[in-house]
Amino acid sequence: MDLPVVWFVLSAVLWAGYLLLEGFDFGVGMLLPVLGREDKDRRVMINTIGPVWDGNEVWLLTAGGATFAAFPEWYATMFSGFYVALFVILLALIVRVVAFEWRSKIDDDRWRAWADRALIFGSWVPAVLWGVAFGNLVRGVALDADHQYVGTFADLLNPFALLGGATTALLFLTHGAVFLALKTDGDIRRRAGDLAQRLAVGALVVAGVFAVWTQLAHSVAWTWAATVVAAAALVWLVVATRARREGQAFLASAVTILAAVVLIFGSLFPDVMPALDPANSLTIRNASSTDYTLTIMTWVAVLLTPVVLLYQGWTYWVFRKRLSTDHIPEHTGLTFAQVTARSDRG
């Protein structure tokens, strides 16, 4: 086996899993101020992803770990060159985790409002910046002969990368709205379906422009297949949301994201980080670990990946039913006064 190629493909699979699963998590958080008219509405929205969001984030840890182990020079160059953007993403994800875990700990409207703001911030920022980062990877960045990034942060905010950020934001918003329509009942389901119908049209336009630009400027002939699949899935998404076929709409949204990942990684190959000067590009050859390292990683992946997939699939099956405000109990957390009193005694 050509192990560097195998691990390039596996890296694409891990990123696809992360963007597919965390995509609707981000979408739900981004839509919190739009669909969450009352606290119970917001609690329903959060509870739809409550059992799965942390499991979905494991895909990011695995993708990052696989990149570090399989392509250490790619990891080093990307995390040094994109340091500011990746630091902001990490900060947003930490804030998001805190909002999830602490929102219900204190029974106070102001406390919950701050948690909601943190959750919205922690969802919007990664949703946009991941698209900007992948857009720059596809376009190519300023690397010197030592594969060090020599550009500026402003160079990363070019029109193509910003369009990539708008694309991921719209795709995740739509993905989240469709997921909420699939997982809730009552008024939230109706409003989420209405919103998904409108967002699907915007996603079709913006993502379509980005896919065609990517294909014409940075891709090869075979990736036209991914572009066509993405376009067909987006049209299917628009039709399904209009017909209120929520299962089909979610499948169409998922296919769109997967096709986009194929287009991105297909555009990169055989590079992992193209340079504006092709002679300085990082490729799957000059950025990969030794065959011995990749062989050990391959055996670990073969043995453990099925276990992880089975466990995560079981989690989704257990929490498969719809939620509504009728399922939401009254708050049981401590008030600020009770927390303060306990702190004074302790």
- Residue 223, number of CB atoms within 10 A of its CB: 21
User: Do β-strands 271-273 and 282-283 pair in parallel, antiparallel, or remain unpaired?
Assistant: antiparallel
Pairwise CA distance, residues 278 & 256, whole Å: 30
Among 9, 1, 322, residue whose Cα is nearest residue 190: 322
Give pLDDT, residue 48.
Answer: 93
Among 133, 137, 141, 138, residue whose Cα is nearest residue 162: 133
Q: Give me the half-sphere count of Cα atoms (radius 13 Å) on the Cβ side of residue 190.
A: 2
pTM exceeding the 0.85 threshold for the entire prediction = yes
- Residue 264, number of CB atoms within 10 A of its CB: 25
Bridge partner residues of 143 (DSSP): 149
Pairwise CA distance, residues 212 & 260, whole Å: 11
Among 298, 288, 300, residue whose Cα is nearest residue 76: 288
pLDDT means per 10 residues, the chain with 346 residues, are 90 94 94 90 92 89 91 90 90 93 84 92 95 93 90 90 96 96 92 95 95 91 93 96 94 96 94 91 91 92 89 90 79 57 54
Give pLDDT, residue 341.
Answer: 55
Query: Whole-number mean pLDDT of the chain?
Result: 90
CA distances (Å), 273 to each of 258, 320, 323, in order?
A: 20, 39, 43
Q: What tokens does 302 get?
A: 């073969």
Give pLDDT, residue 106.
Answer: 83
Pairwise CA distance, residues 31 & 183, whole Å: 15
Identify the helix (H) or strand (E) that includes residue 305. helix 291-318
